Structure 1
Amino acid sequence: MMRTVDATEVINRDKLSPLQWLVFVLGFLVFFCDGLDTGIIGFIAPALLDAWKITKPELAPVLSAALIGMSIGAILSGPLSDKFGRKGVIVLTCCLFSIFTILCGFASSVTELSIFRFVTGVGLGAAMPNISTIVSEYMPARRKAFLTGLAGCGFMLGISCGGLMTAYMLEGMGWAKVIIIGGLIPLALVVVLVLKMPESTQYLIKHGKSEQAKRILEKVQGAPFAAGTELVLPKSEAQGNDNPVSLVLGKYLFGSSMMWLCCFMSLLVFYLLTSWMPTILKTAGFSTQQFSFIAAIFPFGGVFGATLMGWYMDKLNPTTVIKYSYLAAVALFVVAGLVSNSIVLLGIVIFLIGALLAGAQSSLLPLAALLYPSVCRAVGVSWMHGIGRIGAILGAFFGSLIFKFNLDLSAIFFVLAIPTLISCLALWLKGRNEGTDQPATATVTDSVQAQ
């Protein structure tokens, strides 16, 4: 007798299985390595300027090359992941950014380093949205936003650890050895991913590989399925043979476009700060340890912010939670401009901005995963990330303009409040379109059903 089992109900268990915890931990580690390799170039930038005797504008192509690669990697990887599977794309791209980060340590010119950073960026940009997608597909619905966002905190923690590592190793070892170490760490993780990371069960079922999905879900539930069991997905996941790209650009176009705008503006601010903050603070007269510490606590604040936001996203309307986080960040940028002469007060405010801005940025990935069904989730999440990366590219270039126009610290923070406000407005428009003025319990249910 044939018996059907909803695969998502197996995932939506009250207690996470060891396999689900494994996916969460591996996701966190991929995010961590992505953050480590993304941020490390910004922290070594002052040493690179001194070692190669180049100007700050000459360094801009190095800082932006990886961001261009990230945008391309994210946009290309989404369709590939929805077609060929999440795991293969994640393993390949992690291997790519690990190897080319190591090669950056052997670069001898700006051109060489820019090329290596571009290829590194392709891997970095492809890995992050796809690891977020697979983590979200293994987390239970009632804790999906919190756990996916918590895994994403690895990115912020990776950037912070890159700053701390640079602060204590740079002067003794030199920039080349620091960046090589940053590439060796994720290379070791690739081996673990190949051996232990499972494929998305939703992807397997949609592509006629139910037996593979059964073996994975049996590990999740801790017991074998009865003979004759057929795995199915809920109606909200059944989109027929619709092309993932046509769904994102059709049914989900307005929500997608608002997410793109929000991510674009948010990453413009985030990468201007992470790429140029050490150099900006050094120019303002801060010491190496001072600027490394202040630059490191910005993304570290995002770890706390994303954790708290993820918890509230499962309790309240997720779009509203992130919208108000951006609004509070706008106010704090103004405060930062007013206290920029005090190292202690500036450090506290930068930490809080990181909690709100970087935390909100991390939370956009689980928010996007909630917006799309599994058939187009990888495309939707990756495209938001890829288009947003164009803002990151502009952020890296705008950083060099700061020195051209001789803006002081106060003026820089006041200017950064503007794109942060636009991110808030984009989510407000998204929320209005979805009709989010409803009780929190209904919002959570609708968010889960929307998948």
Structure 2
Amino acid sequence: MQQLNVQQYLDGRPLSGKQWLVFVLGVLIILADGLDSGAIGFIAPSLLQDWGIDKPALKPVLSGSLVGMAIGALVAGPLADRFGRKWVVIASTVLFGLFTVISGFATNTTELAIYRFITGLGLGAAMPNIATLVAEYMPAHRRATMVNLMFCAFPLGITLGGLLAAKIIPAAGWEHMLMYCGVFPLVLAAVLLFALPESIQFLLTRGRQASAQKIVSSIDSSIDFSKTELVLPELKGNNNAGVALIISKPYFLSTAMLWLCCFMSLLVFYLLTSWMPVLLKQAGFTTEQYSLIAAIFPFGGVFGTAVIGWAMDKFQANKALMVVYFISAILMVITGWFASDIILFGVIIFLAGAGLVGAQSSLPALTALFYPVQGRAAGVSWMHGIGRMGAIFGAFFEAQIFAWNLSLSQVFMFLGVPVLISALALWVKSRDTSVVNQEPVVSNELQKN
């Protein structure tokens, strides 16, 4: 029986309808993730008013979701490498959709914190695993572009949440806002059950030739794949899988640098997205001004994510992302210098968001490109999980920044340091030569029916 290297085959042909379907489903999952992740921020003012509580009382609710995301990512990656990407994605989508709905029935902050923690488990598990699945269906020369385009749906989901909140909360209350946000992923999960295929690469690692051949046949029906043995690139010198692979000696240094990069990047991202309005208000900006500027920062990430994905495919992915982080660090340092000119300040904030948010959204694509299929889901998920710890640290670290009474310029200069560390981490990764190369299996030319 002749052999076909699946990755070489996908790399050498245009995208099929099946691959576009996987991409669109991935976009919808990330959109739902952004919608449900941002929902708690939109209902917070109503919670303070309805429950008669102050802002510190909401901290367990906000941090509970972040902790859940970190744990969900750490647990789900190894599960996806063992049981499959599809079922982990579906289960996590059901989990965060169901508990977003249940959150609408909370009567106090303790209940809501527990519900949001469980919601976070699903949110944290869904994002890295759908990124892994979509990456495995894309050709190598378009992988970063397509994965990054998919991640553009996350800030769009947050934006959609804002539009829904403006309509639903005044008319029906915050409870209905959560219920509407939760129903969408539940409906989507039902669609995924029938429409989302399993990873071809995962099926082959489990020896499920017939299932893999069926999916490849749906990509190209002109070839009889039942007479072809589908194979993967061989991983020379390393028999580990999952977490054991990503922390094994050849991969350890680069793995640690990806974790450090994501940790520092998310620290700054969550601190700014959560507390930028407060910082700008203290600096003398009006409500209209700081609301607009705070929205510009993540919106810049939509454009940055798309452009960076293209650059990663056109140039060396790690170096392209490293350069973006270096530029973002510079933009962070100089941002506060232009606070007196609202237009110029908004432009710099947009560019900083394009760089930092775009780079952060590009890390899953970089990680998926770096690890072989045997540890890809664990690699992407653990990078996300460790990074979420940076987000948790940033949420608590903001109190210390306010205690220092720093000026706006000093705050942005201070935040430039973690971004610079992210860039340096990718520089160290680029110098690591210990990773074992994957040798492709030579395949015979396929005969058409």
CA distance in 2, matches of 1:262, 1:42: 26
User: Contact 1:101/1:117 (CA < 8 Å) preserved in 2?
Assistant: yes
Percent identity, aligned pairs only?
51
Deviations 1:190-247 (A, max 9, x none): 11111100000110111011101111000111334255321111224x7775232221
Can you list the C-alpha shifts for 1:138-166, whole angstroms capped at 9, x where unaligned? Answer: 00111111111211221222223334444
Equivalence for 2:246? 248
Deviation at 1:405, TM superposition (A): 4.7
Is residue 2:107 matched to residue 1:108? yes
Take 1:410 and 1:199, find their aligned partners in 2: how far apart are those partners? 49
User: Deviation at 1:275?
Assistant: 2.7
Which amino acid letter does the alignment assign opposite residue 244 of structure 2?
S
Given residue 361 of structure 1, which amino acid in structure 2 is its aligned partner? Answer: Q
Q: Count the aligned residue pairs.
A: 438
- Equivalent in the alignment of 1:124: 123
**Which residue matches 1:142?**
141
Taking only aligned residues, the RMSD between alpha carbons, in angstroms, comes to 2.6
Find the aligned partners of 2:289 and 2:173 in 1 and give their Cα distance. Answer: 18
* Cα distance in 2, alignment partners of residues 263 and 181 from structure 1: 31
The C-alpha deviation readout for 1:301-320, integer Å capped at 9, x for no partner, is 11111111111111111111
Taking the TM superposition and a 5 Å limit, the aligned residue runs for 1:332-411 are 332-411=331-410
Give the letter aligned to residue 191 of structure 2: V
Taking the TM superposition and a 5 Å limit, the aligned residue runs for 1:16-415 are 16-166=15-165, 170-225=169-224, 227-236=226-235, 241-250=239-248, 251-281=250-280, 291-415=290-414
Partner SS state of residue 231, structure 1: strand
Q: CA deviation at 1:344?
A: 3.5
Change (3 A) 1:447 1:412: farther
What is the CA-CA distance between 1:183 and the residue it aligns to?
A: 1.9
Distance 1:74 1:279, change over 3 A: same
| Cα distance between partner residues in 2 of 1:341 and 1:104 | 42
Alignment CA distance shift 1:405-1:227 (3 Å): closer
Q: Check 1:124–1:226 CA distance in 2 against 1; reply closer, same or farther (3 A cut).
A: closer
Kindly provide the amino acid, as one letter, of the partner of residue 211 in structure 1: A
Aligned AA (2:55): K
Question: Matched residues in 2 for 1:224 and 1:13: separation?
Answer: 15
Moved more, 255-264 or 144-153: 144-153
Which segment is superposed worse, 173-182 or 277-286? 277-286
Deviations 1:123-144 (A, max 9, x none): 0111111000000000011111
* Residues 1:226 and 1:134: Cα distance change in structure 2 (over 3 Å): closer
TM-score w.r.t. length of structure 2: 0.90
Segments of structure 2 that go 5 or more residues without pairing to the other structure are: 441-449
CA distance in 1, matches of 2:348, 2:180: 31
Deviates more, 1:161-170 or 1:133-142: 161-170
For structure 1, the residue ranges without an aligned partner over 5 or more in a row are 437-445
Determine helix, strand or coil for the equivalent of 1:15: coil
Partner of 1:423: 422
- CA distance 1:391–1:259, change in 2 (3 Å): same
- Using a 3 Å threshold, how does the CA distance of structure 1 residues 159 and 192 change in structure 2: closer, same or farther? same
Q: Secondary structure at the match of 1:54?
A: coil
| Partner SS for 1:252 | helix
CA distance in 2, matches of 1:392, 1:134: 25
Aligned to 1:439: none
Quick one: distance in 1 between partners of 2:20 and 2:209?
22
**Which deviates further from its counterpart, 345-354 or 92-101?**
345-354
TM-score by length of 1: 0.89
Kindly state the Cα deviation for residue 57 of structure 1 after the two structures are TM-superposed.
Answer: 3.0
Query: Matches of 1:174 and 1:227 in 2, distance apart?
Result: 56
Aligned AA (2:110): T
Q: How far 1:287 moved relative to its partner?
A: 6.3
Once the two structures are TM-superposed, the CA of residue 38 in structure 1 deviates from its matched residue by: 1.6
Which letter does structure 1 place at the counterpart of 2:15? L
